[in-house]
Amino acid sequence: MIIRFGTIFSKSTQIIVLIFITLLLNCASAPQLGSPINQATLKDGTFEGSYKYGPNKARVKVTIKNNKISNIIIMQHWAWRGKKAEPIIVQRILEAQSSKVDAVTGATNSSNVIMNAVQMAIEKARIEK
């Protein structure tokens, strides 16, 4: 027996269900692009990076000094519930000197988007051979 979607739910309920499904699909976690940093390949300076995945986007400034990540500023971070990830991810990246660290529980996509934005900035800091 086949039941049509429209015969069970009202038009407004159908719209709400479709919006909910769209949000769920867009909230899948971003892949982690980063890795531990080969410090010998970095030049000093401040570099910007950004990354967007689903409803989340981050823009960062990463400062490299003496071939190490010395500072990270999150210039913009669009997030639904992931704002709590900002200070934690920045601290983890600085401590590990890697743009691939453990995500913050409950803010996985925001964590990954911030890490990936940092990775995009680091790519700009690489010394070209």
Domain boundaries, the chain: 1-129
Say what the pLDDT of residue 12 is: 67
pLDDT of residue 103: 95
Contact between 98 and 72 under an 8 Å Cβ cutoff? The reply is no
In percent, how much of the chain has pLDDT > 90? 60
* Closest listed residue to residue 61, CA positions, set 94, 88, 71, 110: 71
Domain 1-129 maps to which CATH number in 3.40.50.10090, 3.90.1010.20, 3.40.50.2020, 3.40.50.1820?
3.90.1010.20
CA distances from 114 to 3, 40, 71 (A): 44, 23, 14
Amino acid 114: pLDDT: 97
Query: What digits encode the pLDDT tens for the residues 13-67?
Result: 666 655 555 555 455 677 777 777 777 789 999 999 999 998 899 999 999 999 9
